[in-house]
Amino acid sequence: MSFAPILPWPVLVLAGFGILILTVWTVVRQRGTRPQGPVRPAAVRGAAVVLLLVAAMRPGLIDGQSVSASSEIDVFFVVDTSTSMAAEDYRGTETRLAGVKQDVAAVARELAGAKFSLITFDSKATVRMPLTQDATALQTAMTTLQPQRARYASGSSVTIAAQLLKDRLDAAQKQHPGRPALVFYAGDGENTSAEPPTPMDASNIAGGAVLGYGTGEGGRMRESADGGAAYVKDRGSDTGQDAVSRIDEAQLGRIADQLHVPYAHRTGGEPTSDVLRGVQWGNLTTTGDGPGRVELYWLFALAAFLLAMHEPLRHFFELVNLRRSLRKEPTP
């Protein structure tokens, strides 16, 4: 059993003592004022809060080995979610975004213990997830990620997230000076904006990679992620044929040069663990293999929730009994 508390230990200990003292005082007070009165509600409330405190300690079990990075690393994922990322030319007929999701999950596993942030871009750039050490939150954010619907697409720049990324990097550096930051840019390089791409700023970037998705032959895109959606039509053709999106590796290579990181074409044929091979780490230092963890905090949180339900259920049944007793009273 190991613990990774979300709050400092002194805070948790003081809170625990405070809850214990308050619970004992409440029980003694109820026994003194109402010798026959129930003390169970106060004890149940106290037990629920204690379980929440245990959950806040993040208990877990050691489970095998996992490669872990220093927690003094910030990892920024910049993911293209424009309509072209729905092109079905990744590993046969999968979408490009499906490949991005697999690679992001692989990087997160390799850098377990780092802080992660997710920035997405299509017609605009958005911070989907600020820096957090909760890898589960990153997994959830990536799972729900979908390409932009074709009807809302109005052209996108491959570097529209440049300023937002710079702002986030500057803020992270200001908050924790000297902490290295990695940037993983994932996209197909297809620039559909009328304006030329803005150069990416490599300031405060210690390393990372530009990951390219798609093929030279290209792939068709569905109008939305809904099952059975029609394919996007080529607006520049009079024949009404399906539009085809193709990777622009030259554009992705320029972005990699601007960020001073390597470029890797991802086709799905290579193991996802290879994403970090050749990544420029700068002055980064990582730990060796460390023990993996199976989180158990959710069990205590669930138990606290079930105990907390005792109070509303008790009041509900008291109300039901009161209504029954009123109905049984004879009318004068």
Q: What is the average pLDDT across 191-199?
A: 89
Question: Quick one: three-class SS letters along the chain?
Answer: CEECCCCCHHHHHHHHHHHHHHHHHHHHHHHHHCCCCCCHHHHHHHHHHHHHHHHHCCEEEEEEEEEECCCCCEEEEEEECCHHHHCCCECCCECHHHHHHHHHHHHHHHCECCEEEEEEECCCEEEEEEEECCHHHHHHHHHCCCCCCHHHCCCCCCCCCHHHHHHHHHHHHHHCCCCCEEEEEEECCCCCCCCCCCCCCCCCCCEEEEEEECCCCCEECECCCCCCCCECECCCCCCCCECEECCCHHHHHHHHHHHCCCEEEECCCCCHHHHHCCCECCCCCCCCEEEEEEECHHHHHHHHHHHHCHHHHHHHHHHHHHHHHHHHCCCC
| Total count of domains within the chain | 2
Residues 150 and 50 in one domain: no
Residue type at 193?
A: S
Residues 202 and 269 in one domain: yes
Residues 49 and 82 in one domain: no
Residues 152 and 185 in one domain: yes
Range of the domain at 307: 2-64+294-328
- pTM: predicted TM-score of the whole model, two decimal places: 0.65
Q: Binning pLDDT at 50, 70 and 90, where does residue 156 land?
A: confident
Q: What is the average pLDDT across 119-131?
A: 94
By C-alpha distance, which of 262, 277, 266, 256 is closest to 110?
277
Q: What is the pLDDT of residue 79?
A: 97
- More reliable by pLDDT, 172 or 289: 172
User: What percentage of the chain reaches a pLDDT higher than 90?
Assistant: 40
Q: What is the pLDDT of residue 332?
A: 56
Q: Binning pLDDT at 50, 70 and 90, where does residue 288 land?
A: very low
Residues 214 and 134 in one domain: yes
Question: What are the Cα distances from residue 77, in Å, to 31, 66, 271?
Answer: 58, 21, 19
Look at strands 59-67 and 2-3 and give their pairing.
Answer: antiparallel
Cα separation, 129 vs 118, in Å, equals 5
User: How many CB atoms are located within 10 Å of the residue 71 CB?
Assistant: 13
Q: Binning pLDDT at 50, 70 and 90, where does residue 282 land?
A: very low
Task: Look at residue 53 and tell me whether its pLDDT is greater than 90.
Answer: no
Cα separation, 49 vs 304, in Å, equals 7
Residues 89 and 171 in one domain: yes
Task: Look at residue 290 and tell me whether its pLDDT is greater than 70.
Answer: no
Residues 126 and 184 in one domain: yes
What CATH number should be reported for the domain holding residue 121?
A: 3.40.50.410
Q: Binning pLDDT at 50, 70 and 90, where does residue 44 land?
A: confident
Residues 182 and 282 in one domain: yes
Residues 305 and 245 in one domain: no
- More reliable by pLDDT, 15 or 244: 244
- More reliable by pLDDT, 163 or 286: 163
Q: What is the pLDDT of residue 92?
A: 87
Q: What's the whole-number average pLDDT of the chain?
A: 83
Residues 225 and 259 in one domain: yes
Residues 141 and 200 in one domain: yes
For 237-278, the pLDDT digits (tens) are 667 789 999 999 999 999 999 999 999 999 988 776 667 765
Q: What is the average pLDDT across 45-70?
A: 71
Cα separation, 92 vs 214, in Å, equals 10
Q: What is the average pLDDT across 266-291?
A: 62
Task: Look at residue 331 and tell me whether its pLDDT is greater than 60.
Answer: no
Show the CA angle centred on residue 66, arms to residues 112 and 55, nearest 5°. 60
Cα separation, 220 vs 218, in Å, equals 7
Residues 154 and 219 in one domain: yes
Q: What is the pLDDT of residue 142?
A: 94
Q: What is the pLDDT of residue 71?
A: 59
Question: Rounded to 5 degrees, what are φ and ψ at 193?
Answer: -85, 150
- More reliable by pLDDT, 35 or 265: 265
User: What percentage of the chain reaches a pLDDT higher than 70?
Assistant: 84
| Cβ partners under 8 Å of residue 1, min gap 6 | 59, 60, 61
Task: Look at residue 4 and tell me whether its pLDDT is greater than 90.
Answer: no
- More reliable by pLDDT, 119 or 329: 119
- More reliable by pLDDT, 32 or 284: 32
Q: What is the pLDDT of residue 208?
A: 92
Q: What is the average pLDDT across 51-64?
A: 77
